[in-house]
Copies of this chain bind each other. A is one copy, B any other.
């Protein structure tokens, strides 16, 4: 979706504010939300892509107002609501409705180290050969799906060169809608800053994006 999250190339957000000596978490509730997200049992079919997509569906003014771990809250709570695993009343009151069964299969502390080390692998076999070769000229397609995509607006329709081939990776556009992993070849594509931003950009600057095969056309 062409949402407020797709910020690359926007003006008007003001200065960056680096914070010397910044702590890992600023508030106790940030710490709790982080740990809760990592430790909790997710709905069936949940994925990092679904998690990102739900964050993108936040009302734009809320997206800009709520801070990072509040985005996590939003997507987590919404995923549970959508799966029927929690009710709005429970989210409001902090108390489970009477008579709800209690599960006993949540992640245990002893599982954390393994989950941290082994989790988050997205490379997958793809049976077809890659369509593009290193150095090949490609154009990012002009796609405007209402669902999740990892092709930012600023790159659409722009021409670049295949810089690297990563093999097959889970395709987020499918995974985010619960449509399965549908892996595709993934490439790093190099775009010149001038192609992306016009003649005022520095002549030698480049922007590299990781783009799935179906985002690309040969030119």
Contact = CB atoms under 8 A, between A and B. Distances in A.
A59 B198 contact: no
> In the assembly, how many copies of this chain are there?
2
Interface in A2-45: 2-4, 9-14
A124 B61 CA distance: 39
A56 interface: yes
Contact of A12 (B11, B59, B65, B157): B59
A3, A4, A12, A65 interface centre (most CB from chain B within 10 Å): A12
A141 to B, nearest CB: 7
A105 interface: no
Contacts of A122: none
Interface of A: 1-4, 9-14, 56-57, 59-61, 64-65, 141-144, 146, 153, 157-158, 196-198, 200
